[in-house]
Structure 1
Amino acid sequence: MTLPTTDTIVSYSDGDLSNTATVLHSEQTSDGRWAIILDETSCHPVDIGWPDQAADRAALRRANGDVVEVSDAILSATDGSALFIGSDIPQRPGTDGWAFVVVHLTDTAIPDGESVTVEVDGELRRALSTGHTACHLASLALNRAMADRWSKEVREDGLGQPDFDAAAIERSTIREDGSTDVFRLNKSLRRKGFSTDGLADDLPAIVDAIEATLAGWLATAAPVHVDRDGPGLTDRRYWVCELPEASVRIACGGTHVTSLAELGTLDVSLDLSDDAGTPTLTMTTDAR
């Protein structure tokens, strides 16, 4: 079969752990593995452009009963003439004339046109979903704790607070049952009105404020769901949490729990360091 001309249909944002699918295209990669594209998948891929959440652990079960392990799942793209995997993609997701697809990398070839069943490891999915929801919740609590450090108006988050997270984030890593977020407190951020004066001394009080906010939210067992503009891989998706103050929406392509009750308690730590003269703040969040 030829390369697909439309985005992969994805269902991991709905919490799906399995689906039946048809192999649309397979080709061997330079490292000897096979890149397999399905018409639809419940396997969450890593997005090399913003690799905060790792790929699901998954397998493809063939009609004859054979199980083919997926060594990685990567957001990729094709213009109809060639397949570009991960960091080789030359266009932004959603570019007209391009199909954005999930490539399932395997050590075994599966013929085009064959029907398979995608099977995702539920335990790892649960742990990563916990970590991703905890990450969003902690970012909102951090924004609130940092609100009095702004002297100028800046973009607000879903609760009407200055969005420190969006303004300063350098990278985010979703871990099993937690996350690590790194923020750069550079000159650009300070020109926007953020003050770092006395920040090191204030970190214990900021942590206390964050954890108090989180404890209050967790006690509500607020529901969480993912809204989406459509079923395609590049259709916009949003994390939605019904917090007491407001229903909060954050653009997000990851997976999540369905209730804050699933998080237990959240512990947060903050560490201030120096990166070649630029202050860097690291927030570690863990669900217990």
Structure 2
Amino acid sequence: MALPRTDTVVSYPTGATDGTGTVLHIEPVGERFAVLLDATPCHPVDAGWPDQGSDRATLTWNGGSADIVDCIVAATDGSLLYLGGDIPVRKGTEGWTFVVAHLVTDAPPVGQVVTVEIDAKYRRSLSLGHTGCHLASLALNRAMTGRWSKEVRTDALGTPDFDAEANDTSRILERGSLDTYRLGKSLRKKGFSTEGIAEALPGIETEVNTTLADWVAENAPVRIDRDGDRLTDRRYWVCTLADGEARIACGGTHATGLGELGSLRATLTLEDADGTPVLTMRTAQD
């Protein structure tokens, strides 16, 4: 079975929760099969930045169906298929094709037209969580502004980008998110002051939540701008706030307006990890 030579067409950035595609290739993976389609609405997890997990979905074809037990970004050089963390090159590398691999326990035949149906309720919960995560990162950057003594890159609203400089892990939850930030020596060398941050944390949290409440109340629309409809085409989360237009590169799924987030709150905690302060921000929506 020949491996695809063009990147998968993806419709999840438009909010699609169902679609059809033609089976191009099937690859045995242990007791499962990686099904490659020419097009899919299924959001895959990306090993390079696995903040948002894969959709829950079902694959249906004439005479059969199977739950998609996982959906991941894969890549091929034309001879072998590499899944997830085994991909040896960066996304978009010339000569490589990047595809969405749907992992199932029962596969349709190559050439079969299949229907992909997404668990829309679960997708929406992650989309809300992802939009809230972007908003909270911007609010946290704003609350940390006074702790910088040197110029660093700025975020989408022109504020020193604490999130980009310090973020260690990020995970999108159902109607929420969880991010950790290392406040170590390298961050301090860039000009960030950690002095008295433990004592200041309640005030920082209050400032973040005040900003979030103001932004959510604006109910600004959210859209995804795309350079194209292929998996490797750049996509951007765009939200026009009263403070300016925020435009953030992002491959996830999102709400269509901030009002959908309801009551969005962030909780900040500080812990020690082998001598390095680690700040954790958890967001949750009512």
Deviation of 1:109 after TM superposition, in Å, equals 2.0
The corresponding residue for 2:202 is: 204
Distance 1:27 1:181 in 2: 35
Counting only pairs closer than 5 Å after superposition, residues 49-68 of structure 1 correspond to structure 2 as 49-64=48-63, 66-68=64-66
What does the per-residue CA deviation read over 1:60-110, in whole Å, with 9 as the maximum and x for residues that have no partner? Answer: 11023x321100000010011010011110111000000000000000021
Q: Where in structure 1 are there 5+ consecutive unaligned residues?
A: none
Deviation of 1:170 after TM superposition, in Å, equals 0.5
Counting only pairs closer than 5 Å after superposition, residues 1-288 of structure 1 correspond to structure 2 as 1-29=1-29, 31-64=30-63, 66-288=64-286
Deviation of 1:117 after TM superposition, in Å, equals 0.6
TM-score, normalised relative to structure 2: 0.99
TM-score, normalised relative to structure 1: 0.98
Deviation of 1:56 after TM superposition, in Å, equals 0.1
What stretches of structure 1 move > 6 A for 4+ residues in a row? Answer: none
Equivalent pairs counted in the alignment come to 286
Deviation of 1:281 after TM superposition, in Å, equals 0.4
AA matched with 1:125: R
Distance 2:164 2:253 in 1: 20
SS of residue matched to 1:129: helix
SS of residue matched to 1:6: coil
AA matched with 2:188: R
Deviation of 1:272 after TM superposition, in Å, equals 0.6
Deviation of 1:22 after TM superposition, in Å, equals 0.1
Distance 1:117 1:110 in 2: 11
What does the per-residue CA deviation read over 1:8-36, in whole Å, with 9 as the maximum and x for residues that have no partner? Answer: 0101011000111100000211x210010
AA matched with 2:78: G
Distance 1:72 1:114 in 2: 20
SS of residue matched to 1:201: helix
Deviation of 1:48 after TM superposition, in Å, equals 1.2
AA matched with 2:41: S
Distance 2:62 2:175 in 1: 34
AA matched with 2:101: V
Distance 1:255 1:247 in 2: 19
Distance 2:59 2:78 in 1: 25
Distance 2:71 2:247 in 1: 26
Distance 1:40 1:186 in 2: 43
Deviation of 1:155 after TM superposition, in Å, equals 0.3
SS of residue matched to 2:144: helix
